[in-house]
Structures are given as C-alpha cells and as structure tokens.
Amino acid sequence: MREIDETFPGTAGRVRRTMEFDRWTVLLLERRANRPPRPESERNSLQDAHLAFLAKLHAQGHLLAAGPVQGPPGSNVAGVCIYLGPVEEARARAANDPAVRAGEFDIELFSWSVPGGALRFEPVRFPHSMAEVEGK
C-alpha cells in the first residue's frame, strides 16, 4: 500500500489517500549467444520439456502468463513470463526450467507493480508440447 497525494476538483487543497498495488515478477527469457549446438530433434525435445515445465508451474498457481515474443532485429528476448511471488522465488523456480538448465536461455527478472485490479488473469490451460501448440 502506498500513500498518494492528489488534488481533486472541489476540495480545499490536497487529499491524502492510499492506493493498493498488485505485485508480480516479470521474467525475460533471453536466447544465449553461446548456447550449445544441438540437433533439431534435441531442440524440439527441449522445447517440449520447457513448455511442460511452464504448464506445471501454471497448474500449481506459480505462473500467471507466459509466451514467446518477437523483438526487434538483434534482440535476444525470446519470451516473457509473469510469476506470482517475489523475484528471488521466481528466480529459484525458473532455474529449474529444462531450457535454462540446458543453457538455451538466460533469465532477467523484474519486480512489477501496477494499480490493484488493473490486470486480471483468467485460468487457462497451458500447452505441454509443441504438438499441442500446433493442434496435432
């Protein structure tokens, strides 16, 4: 909770009120420039393990949203995840991602605060494999 000073029309001076903030941890998955070379079949298996890991965290209530991003040319950012809980807790969970452990991704985490209720996340089913993503 933070105190906010604001001036409202029709009031004499400033009014002090409190505002609640929702807090999450935002994680950026960044492709490692020096990631190990792998055959395509191994990369595909690793991607499936990565998706299954994220789906499990979501089902357990630790992960609110996750998905790939397309950045500008030259960007290494491959995906964004929004975790419940503080940065260090999210970092510990993300360190167990098979793709992170295998050296495919580095992670960068940020604490994110937004006015309470500004964002809502609905329960959805996360895909467990690329076959699910592609509808196979």
pLDDT digit string, tens, across residues 98-124: 999 999 999 999 999 999 999 898 889
Q: DSSP 3-state assignment of 115?
A: strand
What are the DSSP calls for 94-105, one per residue? HTT-HHHHTTSE
> How much is the pLDDT for 28?
97
pLDDT tens string 17-46: 678 889 999 999 999 999 989 999 999 999
* Burial grade of 24 (CB within 10 A; 0-12, 13-18, 19 or more): buried
At the fourth CATH level, the homologous superfamily of domain 22-133 is: Dimeric alpha+beta barrel (3.30.70.1060)
pLDDT tens string 3-19: 555 555 555 555 556 78
